[in-house]
Amino acid sequence: MDMSVFDLFKIGIGPSSSHTVGPMVAARRFLVECGDLDNAVGVEAALYGSLALTGVGHATDKAVILGLMGQTPQGLDPSEVDDKLAEVELDGVLRLLGTKEVPFTAKSGLVWHKSATLPEHPNGMRFTLKLADGSVIERIFYSVGGGFIHAAGESHARQGGETTSAPIPFYFDTMDQLLAHGKASGLSIPAMLRANECAHMDGAELDAGIDRIWQVMRDCIAHGLVTDGQLPGGLNVKRRAAKLWAQALAAKNGDNRANDLPHDALHQVSLYAMAVNEENAAGGRVVTAPTNGAAGIIPAVLRYYAEDCRPSDPVKGVRQFMLTAAGIGMLCKKNASISGAEIGCQGEVGVACAMAAAGLVAALGGSNEQIENAAEIGIEHHLGMTCDPIGGLVQIPCIERNGMGAIKAITAASLALKGDGTHFVSLDDVIETMRQTGADMQDKYKETSLGGLAIHVVTVNHAAC
């Protein structure tokens, strides 16, 4: 497996890893690989398939322009986005990689091919750099989910960095292989994932990176739980997490605890997830986990673990959780997909649920077999889930769907921990089933907003039009 925990968990901005993060990375990489820009006189980006159909609602237009300006998802301050884009439109000039000025407006420089796709993936982009001598440099990129991209013909998807070539001690392409490594070595899944990571970085670097990811996740939850108002995009969706959180705190701290219900703790978990995805929908700072559309599930379950499970060593537990979750995400990405445009939301919320369930079992000391069981349950009960965002926005049903996915992850972990690890359906089998289900799914249910809720709910301002 040629992926790292930091490929699955990437700090970026909302609202979409495949439609915002990926296109930004691809646009910047295109210009970087073009080399000398002194002779450039213009640039154009053509968006295809799902990127064109839901691109406006997913901020693909903004992401491409920012990428051409040289911005990166991890380095961009979300509060500066509107000002940077307004300056381009006002001046009619784009500074390629922040240096070379060329004429540009969103209307003339972005082309939307809503009825066409490129051959390798539904999320295709064609970039064209125009030179002073009349020639052009042209290249095609694909955004394949979770912020991963690849150029046409490349064998490995990447986020923009180099895939490590260092040999790892526990190479695996399937869960069966990982379980076999565990039996032979006597090591747990998080221990083996840690050993793999430490083949190309030291333990202190690994821990610091994971801790940083967890801190950004916590900050995202905290900000989402106190921020109200209305989400952008035209649907006029009100943020709910802050109000519901205030109500939950008032009930928890009130004198009359008689009205407390057993499910109140789970209600809080769903609010953690919704808070993250409201931040994502607003274009805020989030961690792709493994996608932006499903970014709330893992942070919510992690906070549940750290605060409600009374761990003896929460720091170690969080690291074990993240490593294990990443391993499950790697398997899903390699053997199926984490792209809603390719296999529907089963590959986003379903995979995030499986990752969180497996991570929670690992953090609570479960066996390798129990970890596999939890992940399998998490995906199995999301099979067939469509991606049909209303208005092309990552809001309805995405925000609530994350809240529900977090609860399912905890339930899956509980079921697995109460068993002995034996189960009927293997994780490898359910991942293959997810892949086949996605292949059979009609395109109108795969992040195109051409079917499902997206056409059965009337909107005043359809953001994807």
- The predicted-structure confidence for 353-405, as pLDDT tens digits, reads as follows 999 999 999 999 999 999 999 999 999 999 999 999 999 999 999 999 999 99
pLDDT of residue 166: 73
The answer to whether residue 340 scores a pLDDT higher than 50 is yes
Alpha-carbon gap, residue 416 to 429, rounded angstroms: 17
Reported as a single tens digit per residue, the pLDDT across 62-71 is 999 999 999 9
pLDDT of residue 160: 43
Alpha-carbon gap, residue 160 to 16, rounded angstroms: 17
pLDDT of residue 36: 87
The type of residue at 23 is P
pLDDT of residue 465: 35
- Contact in structure between 59 and 19 (CB atoms under 8 Å): yes
Fold of 19-143: 60s Ribosomal Protein L30; Chain: A; (3.30.1330)
Reported as a single tens digit per residue, the pLDDT across 277-324 is 999 999 999 999 999 999 999 999 999 999 999 999 999 999 999 999
Confidence at 262, pLDDT banded by 50, 70, 90: low
Reported as a single tens digit per residue, the pLDDT across 59-102 is 999 999 999 999 999 999 999 999 999 999 999 999 999 999 99
pLDDT of residue 285: 97
pLDDT of residue 319: 98
Q: How many CB atoms are closer than 10 A to CB 251?
A: 15
- Contact in structure between 403 and 295 (CB atoms under 8 Å): no
pLDDT of residue 259: 59
Pair of tokens at residue 290: 């493994």
Indicate the domain borders of the chain: 19-143, 175-457
pLDDT of residue 159: 46
For 204, the 3-state DSSP assignment is: helix
293-322 residues labelled b (16+ CB within 10 A) or e (exposed): bbbbbbbbbbbbbbeeeebeebeebbbbbb
Nearest partner of 269 among 460, 455, 408, 172, judged by Cα: 408
310 sits in which H/E element: none
The answer to whether residue 156 scores a pLDDT higher than 70 is no
Phi, psi (deg, nearest 5) at residue 136: -135, 155
Name the average pLDDT for the chain: 93
Indicate the burial class of 267 (C-beta count within 10 angstroms; 0-12, 13-18, 19 or more): middle
The answer to whether residue 115 scores a pLDDT higher than 80 is yes
pLDDT of residue 213: 98
Reported as a single tens digit per residue, the pLDDT across 232-244 is 999 999 999 999 9
Pair of tokens at residue 419: 């068993």
Q: What is the CA radius of gyration of the chain?
A: 22
